[in-house]
Amino acid sequence: MGMLEGKVALITGGSRGQGRAHAITCAREGADVIIIDTLDQIASVAYPMAQ
C-alpha cells in the first residue's frame, strides 16, 4: 500500500518534465491521478502507470 492510496492527485503541466515526474510518482504511490495540460501533443506522451 502506497502513501497516497485512496487519494486523488490533480497535476497541472503533467505532460512533460517535472509535472510528468510528479504524476508518475503519485500513481506509483497509489493515487488516482488527473493530469491537466495545454500541450497539443499530450496524446503521444506515454505514462507507464496508466491503465
pTM above 0.75, yes or no: no
Task: Render pLDDT for 1-51 as a digit per residue (tens, 0 to 9).
Answer: 789 999 999 999 888 889 999 999 999 999 999 998 886 655 566 666 665
Residues 44 and 20 sit within 8 Å (Cβ to Cβ): no
Residues 4 and 29 sit within 8 Å (Cβ to Cβ): yes
Query: Whole-angstrom Cα distance, residue 14 to residue 26?
Result: 11
Query: Whole-angstrom Cα distance, residue 47 to residue 26?
Result: 12
